[in-house]
């Protein structure tokens, strides 16, 4: 996330928001924010949302991730909102909506769903 310049802007129980500014480093040949950058913030928003419901010694790994790109990712920035749909002992399901924001107008540019597995112990 540091490489992309993304930042956490909201952390709540079962919900996380991540924003990514539109910069040349994250765009593709047509000037839209690249699908890879869009997918990365979506995956992380869901993962962090899941983490808000687990004990401190927990980590998560994405098991499955599906994203639909609904519109070109344009705007001054993107905002990914990850929301936990079902939190289980082992598997958690999250939904992520990604919005392009320009002049306070929000356009949904992607919708994702992911399955995460909770793991314990040190990451790495």
- 31: domain CATH number? 3.10.129.10
Residue 108 falls inside a structural domain: yes
For residue 11, what are the domain limits? Answer: 7-120
Q: How confident is the model at residue 105 (pLDDT cuts 50, 70, 90)?
A: very high
pLDDT for 83 beyond 80 = yes
Half-sphere exposure of 46 (CA within 13 A, CB side): 31
Residue 54 falls inside a structural domain: yes
Mean pLDDT in residue range 34-58: 97
What is the pLDDT, as a whole number, of residue 101? Answer: 97
Neighbours of 55 (CB within 10 A): 8
pLDDT for 121 beyond 80 = no
How many domains does one find in the chain? Answer: 1
Residue 1 falls inside a structural domain: no
pLDDT for 123 beyond 90 = no
pLDDT for 67 beyond 90 = yes
What is the pLDDT, as a whole number, of residue 122? Answer: 65
Q: How confident is the model at residue 37 (pLDDT cuts 50, 70, 90)?
A: very high
Residue 28 falls inside a structural domain: yes
Residue 62 falls inside a structural domain: yes
Tokens of 15: 């919900």
Q: How far apart are CA 105 and CA 124, in angstroms?
A: 40
What is the pLDDT, as a whole number, of residue 120? Answer: 86
Cβ contact 112:68 at 8 Å: yes
Residue 86 falls inside a structural domain: yes
Mean pLDDT in residue range 87-91: 94
What is the pLDDT, as a whole number, of residue 124? Answer: 60
Residue 79 falls inside a structural domain: yes
Cβ contact 94:114 at 8 Å: yes
DSSP, res 26:
G
Residue 2 falls inside a structural domain: no
Kindly report the average pLDDT of the chain as a whole number: 96
pTM listed for this prediction:
0.94
């Amino acid at each position: 996330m540091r490489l992309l310049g993304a930042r956490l802007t909201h952390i709540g129980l079962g919900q996380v928001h991540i924003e990514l500014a539109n910069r040349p480093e994250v765009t593709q040949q047509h000037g839209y924010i690249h699908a890879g950058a869009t997918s990365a913030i979506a995956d992380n928003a869901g993962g962090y949302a899941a983490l808000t419901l687990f004990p401190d010694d927990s980590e998560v790994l994405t098991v499955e991730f599906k994203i639909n790109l609904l519109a070109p990712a344009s705007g001054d920035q993107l905002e990914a909102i990850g929301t936990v749909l079902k939190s289980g002992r082992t598997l958690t399901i999250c939904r992520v909506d990604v919005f392009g924001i320009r002049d306070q107008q929000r356009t949904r540019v992607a919708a994702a769903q992911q399955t995460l597995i909770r793991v314990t112990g040190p990451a790495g």
